[in-house]
Amino acid sequence: MSESQSLIESGLSVVIPTYKRVQMCETLLDSLKTSQAFCDIPTEVWVMDDSPTPDAQRIKAACDRHHFNYCWQSGPVTTKRNLGAKNARYPIVCFIDSDCIATPELLQRHCDCYHHHSEVVAVIGKTEFKGPQTWLWHVIELTPYLDAFAIADFPTQIVWGPSNNFSCRKTIFKQLGGFDENCPQPIGGEDAELGYRLYHEGYMMHTCPEAVVYHSTETWNTLPQVLQRLTRWSRGDIYLKRRNWISLYYSCPSRLGTVLILIPLAISISLTTQNYVWLSWPLLFIIFNFILGALQKLAAYPPRFLHPFRIFAAESLILFYDLQNAWQCLRWNCWKLLFTYLLLRPEDAHLLWNENMKQLSIRGFELGTSLTFLLTYQDYVFGR
Is CATH 3.90.550.10 the right assignment for the domain spanning 3-221?
A: yes
Give the pLDDT of residue 384.
52
Rounded Cα distance, 55 and 50, in Å: 9
Give the pLDDT of residue 1.
38
For the chain, the three-class secondary structure string (H helix, E strand, C coil) is CCHHHHHHCCCEEEEEEECCCHHHHHHHHHHHHHHHHCCCCCEEEEEEECCCHHHHHHHHHHHHHHCCEEEECCCCHHHHHHHHHHHCCCCEEEEECCCEEECCCHHHHHHHHHHHCCCCCEEEEEEEEECCCCHHHHHHCCCHHHHHHHCCCCCCEECCCCCCEEEEEHHHHHHHCCCCCCCCCCCCCHHHHHHHHHHHCCCCEEEEEEEEEEEECHHHCCHHHHHHHHHHHHHHHHHHHHHCHHHEEECCCCHHHHHHHHHHHHHHHHHHHCCHHHHHHHHHHHHHHHHHHHHHHHHHCHHHHHCHHHHHHHHHHHHHHHHHHHHHHHHHCCHHHHHEEECCCHHHHHHHHHHHHHHHHHHHHHHHHHHHHHHHHHHHHHCC
Given pLDDT bands bounded at 50, 70 and 90, which one contains residue 300? Answer: confident
Who contacts 300 (Cβ-Cβ below 8 Å, separation ≥6)? none
Question: pTM of this prediction?
Answer: 0.92
Mean pLDDT of 183-206: 90
Given pLDDT bands bounded at 50, 70 and 90, which one contains residue 304? Answer: confident
Q: Phi first, then psi: what are they for 12, rounded to 5°?
A: -135, 135
| C-alpha closest to that of 283 among 374, 215, 364 | 374
Give the pLDDT of residue 379.
81
Give the pLDDT of residue 127.
98
Phi-psi group of 346: left, alpha or beta (phi > 0 → left; psi -120 to 50 → alpha; rest → beta): alpha
Question: What does the domain layout of the chain look like in residue ranges?
Answer: 3-221, 245-382
Rounded Cα distance, 98 and 49, in Å: 10
Given pLDDT bands bounded at 50, 70 and 90, which one contains residue 3? Answer: very low
Give the pLDDT of residue 382.
67
| C-alpha closest to that of 80 among 55, 97, 58, 61 | 97
Long-range contacts of 304-313 (CB under 8 A, 24+ apart): 304/142, 307/138, 310/135, 310/138, 310/139, 310/142, 311/142, 313/136, 313/139
Mean pLDDT of 46-65: 96
Question: For residue 207, what are the CA distances in angstroms to 43, 121, 240, 303?
Answer: 21, 11, 22, 33
Give the distance from CA 165 to its chain's centroid.
13
